[in-house]
């Protein structure tokens, strides 16, 4: 019997799904009815694996969109935020703020505990190498290596 999913996870899934739907449709220009549209893929994943496992993939997809926006000028981010806000959907700016909070928690804990956290830190290392200090880079690389070793030992 499948375990019940918490109301918080259900709310997070719904919120991130709406964001990804608009992003994929408006930014990536993927037709809403396309089989490869992230919303369609996500719904198949929910049916196949359940909300909890699908949420992990959804979080990673959202983090990928945030990385894709790293080079966007502030006025373009503001325009996208306005579109999202107008639809009652979480904004890019808010998602970035949350990622930053999550990163601080990871650093404070001194370890990466999940694939989602791994890809967040890895994305920062890969995408922000020019904007993070050598000390931060070394710290992030130690966290990544620790998680990769943990995963390797688990298999």
Give CA torsion, residues 16, 49, 41, 57, to 10 deg: 50
What does the domain layout of the chain look like in residue ranges?
Answer: 1-91, 110-155
**pLDDT for 8 beyond 80:** yes
Rounded to an integer, what distance in angstroms lies between the CA atom of residue 16 and that of residue 153? 32
Q: What is the pTM of this model?
A: 0.73
**pLDDT per residue over 11-26, tens digit each?**
999 999 999 999 999 9
What's residue 1's pLDDT?
43
CB count in 10 Å sphere of residue 147: 20
Q: Any residues with CB less than 8 A from the CB of 141 and at least 6 apart, and which?
A: 125
Centroid of chain to Cα 78: 19
């Amino acid at each position: 019997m499948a375990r019940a999913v918490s109301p918080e996870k259900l709310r997070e899934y719904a919120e991130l799904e709406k964001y990804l739907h608009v992003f994929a449709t408006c930014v990536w220009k993927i037709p809403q009815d396309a089989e490869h549209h992230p919303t369609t893929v996500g719904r198949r994943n929910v049916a196949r694996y359940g909300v909890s496992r699908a949420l992990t993939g959804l979080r990673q997809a959202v983090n990928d969109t945030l990385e894709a926006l790293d080079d966007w000028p502030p006025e373009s981010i503001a325009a996208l935020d306005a579109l999202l806000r107008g639809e009652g959907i979480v904004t890019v700016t808010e998602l970035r703020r949350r990622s930053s909070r999550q990163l601080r928690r990871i650093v404070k804990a001194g370890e990466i505990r999940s694939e989602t956290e791994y890809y967040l830190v890895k994305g920062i290392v890969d995408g922000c190498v020019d904007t993070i200090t050598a000390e931060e880079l070394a710290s992030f690389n130690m966290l990544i290596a620790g998680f990769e070793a943990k995963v390797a030992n688990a298999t």
